[in-house]
Structure 1
Amino acid sequence: MSGRKKLAMALLWLATIATALAVVHSTQRSRELTAQLGQAQKARDELRYEQERLLLEKGAWSAYSRIEKVAREELDMHVPAPDERVLVPAK
């Protein structure tokens, strides 16, 4: 083999090794990113569940019947009788 052929062969081997290392690196990076995506999707699902739970709780706390019950039982409020009502004239 001549010197040029040996040099070309060595360069091809180096290129092959570099390409193989690049493939290994990109495969590993792809696996890492896939794992991160799975974790992010799990966190998203947990946050969605928490949001739905909080919306239901908000609805329960702001329901008219609950507000009326708290006003009556805890604040000792009642609907005013007609003789307790006072009309304030508009200016």
Structure 2
Amino acid sequence: MKVHRGLLLAVLWLCVMVSALAVVHTTHRSRVLTGELVAAQKARDELRFEQERLLLEKGAWSAYGRIEQVAREKLNMHVPGSNERVLVPEQ
């Protein structure tokens, strides 16, 4: 009976130790994953900010007035006069 009782205590003690180590491991893993999550959320927020900035910049660069200004100043383009227009007949 004492052998069974001692064996039972040893098994229970082993179970308690395994359980404690599992808690320590799980807590550590949870902290590591929480850190990774925070870093990923920060990167997401930075990418969203960059996307919004780029969308605003795209809108500014693609505005009709901006395109016309670049065409006039850098490409020396102008609206053709009536004498510069050529009509191409349909076939």
Fold in common (TM above 0.5): yes
Deviation for aligned residue 1:82: 1.4
Name the counterpart of 1:19: 19
Show structure 1 runs of 4+ deviating over 3 A: none
Name the counterpart of 1:57: 57
Question: Distance in 2 between the 1:45 and 1:2 partners?
Answer: 64
Name the counterpart of 1:35: 35
Fraction of identical pairs, as percent: 67
The SS at the match of 2:77 is: coil
What is the TM-score of this pair, normalised by structure 2?
0.95
Q: Deviations over 1:2-55 (max 9, x none)?
A: 111000001100000100100110011001000100000000000111111111
Question: Distance in 2 between the 1:51 and 1:67 partners?
Answer: 22
Question: Distance in 2 between the 1:50 and 1:90 partners?
Answer: 48
Deviation for aligned residue 1:81: 1.1
Number of corresponding residues? 91
Question: Distance in 2 between the 1:25 and 1:86 partners?
Answer: 80
CA RMSD of aligned residues (A): 1.0
Name the counterpart of 1:84: 84
Question: Distance in 1 between the 2:83 and 2:41 partners?
Answer: 61
Question: Distance in 2 between the 1:54 and 1:40 partners?
Answer: 21
The SS at the match of 1:9 is: helix
Question: Distance in 1 between the 2:45 and 2:89 partners?
Answer: 55
5+ long unaligned stretches in structure 1: none
Question: Distance in 2 between the 1:72 and 1:20 partners?
Answer: 76
